[in-house]
């Protein structure tokens, strides 16, 4: 500001300050970078000196071990150490200036608690699922997200709700496999930037409200009953047709009726021994039959 007034160019003050401060900013940033680098180097050297001076004891602090399934992400003075995550086995850290985080690479199971979801056709169902996931890139899972596991779990819950909300009930009940696949793809894509790999999603249970269960059961029962009635009616139709054919055959020859009569008699005599049979000659029957015919 003072320079501008001295030069007498009041109008260009703003441009001037912008220009000056812009240049100042970039040079200042470079300076800070350089300073922190040299400062860091000094600290690293100091740390090495401390390690060497306190030799046998410092080794206890400097060597760390991670298990076969773990990795260590090391930060030196706040910066990620180049070369990615260390491990498995022994790795080396400098006291005071290194910080490290252990990351477990094993597959984890998350049991999504039952979610009350409104389906596309406005039915409330309770759905639960299991998600299997693991850390695929330890560095990214520490550096990009505050808590990769918690984030993945929350995302799994909301994804489950979203997917169920987009589908009608009959699809949810019949297409679990494809819904699981779809959900896995969505989750995997979203968690990529957190270094998480979703291996599997399984929909465990879809619970319907009790009233709807009753209604569906009643519907199924009614349809079964209707089918049973149709089958019975068809059977009766066939039976009556067969009876008519039989009566025509019998009516063609009187001897056939006589034989049938005798057959019936033998059948009855095979049954209860206490039944008393009194055979009536068929001619008497024909008397009645003749009478009915006359009436007609």
Ligand X SMILES: *[C@@H]1O[C@H](CO)[C@@H](O)[C@H](O)[C@H]1NC(C)=O
In the complex, which residues of this chain contact ligand X (CB under 6 A)? 84, 137, 139-140
CB of 139 to ligand X, least distance (A): 5
Residue nearest to ligand X (CB): 137
| Prior bond of 88 cis (ω within 30°) | yes
CB 106 within 8 A of CB 148: no
Those residues whose C-beta lies under 8 Å from the C-beta of residue 139, and which sit 6 or more positions away, are: 73, 80, 84, 85, 195
Q: Of 149 and 182, which has the nearer Cβ to ligand X?
A: 149
Helix (H) or strand (E) holding 144: none
Q: Of 40 and 84, which has the nearer Cβ to ligand X?
A: 84
CB of 131 to ligand X, least distance (A): 22
Please state, in angstroms and rounded to a whole number, the distance separating the CA atoms of residues 15 and 22: 10
Please state, in angstroms and rounded to a whole number, the distance separating the CA atoms of residues 196 and 152: 8
CB of 137 to ligand X, least distance (A): 4
Q: Of 51 and 194, which has the nearer Cβ to ligand X?
A: 194
Instruction: Give long-range contacts, CB 8 A cutoff, 24+ apart: 275-283.
Output: 282/257, 282/258
CB of 126 to ligand X, least distance (A): 38
CB 130 within 8 A of CB 204: yes
Q: Of 71 and 167, which has the nearer Cβ to ligand X?
A: 71
CB of 71 to ligand X, least distance (A): 9
Please state, in angstroms and rounded to a whole number, the distance separating the CA atoms of residues 126 and 205: 8
Q: Of 82 and 292, which has the nearer Cβ to ligand X?
A: 82
Which two structure tokens, joined as six digits, stand for 42? 């000094």
Q: Of 136 and 157, which has the nearer Cβ to ligand X?
A: 136
Centre a 10 Å sphere on the Cβ of residue 124 and count the other Cβ atoms it contains. Answer: 13
Which two structure tokens, joined as six digits, stand for 156? 């799994």
Q: Which residues pair with 3 in a beta bridge?
A: none
Helix (H) or strand (E) holding 69: none
Which two structure tokens, joined as six digits, stand for 48? 């090495």
CB of 167 to ligand X, least distance (A): 35
Q: Of 140 and 155, which has the nearer Cβ to ligand X?
A: 140
Using DSSP's 3-state secondary structure scheme, residue 40 falls into helix
CB of 136 to ligand X, least distance (A): 7
């Amino acid at each position: 500001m003072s320079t501008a007034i001295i030069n007498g160019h009041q109008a260009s003050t703003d441009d001037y300050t912008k220009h000056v401060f812009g240049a100042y900013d970039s040079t200042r940033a470079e300076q800070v970078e350089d300073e922190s680098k040299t400062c860091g180097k000094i600290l690293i050297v100091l740390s090495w000196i401390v390690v060497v001076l306190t030799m046998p004891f410092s080794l206890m602090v400097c060597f760390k071990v991670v298990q076969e399934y773990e990795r260590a992400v090391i930060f030196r003075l706040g910066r990620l150490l180049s070369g990615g995550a260390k491990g498995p086995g022994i790795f080396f850290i400098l006291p005071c200036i290194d910080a490290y985080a252990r990351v477990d690479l094993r597959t984890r199971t998350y049991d999504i608690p039952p979610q009350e979801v409104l389906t596309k056709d406005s039915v409330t169902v309770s759905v639960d699922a299991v998600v299997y996931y693991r850390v695929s890139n330890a560095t990214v899972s520490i550096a990009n997200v505050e808590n990769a596991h918690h984030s993945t779990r929350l995302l799994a819950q909301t994804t489950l709700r979203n997917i169920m909300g987009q589908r009608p009930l009959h699809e949810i009940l019949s297409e679990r496999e494809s819904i699981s696949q779809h959900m896995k793809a969505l989750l995997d894509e979203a968690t990529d930037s957190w270094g998480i790999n979703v291996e599997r999603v399984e929909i465990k249970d879809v619970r319907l409200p009790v009233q709807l269960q009753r209604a569906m059961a009643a519907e199924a029962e009614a349809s079964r009953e209707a089918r049973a009635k149709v089958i019975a009616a068809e059977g009766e139709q066939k039976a009556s047709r067969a009876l008519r054919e039989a009566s025509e055959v019998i009516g063609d020859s009187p001897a056939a009726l006589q034989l049938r009569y005798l057959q019936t008699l033998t059948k009855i005599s095979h049954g209860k021994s206490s039944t008393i049979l009194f055979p009536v000659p068929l001619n008497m029957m024909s008397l009645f039959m003749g009478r009915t015919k006359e009436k007609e």
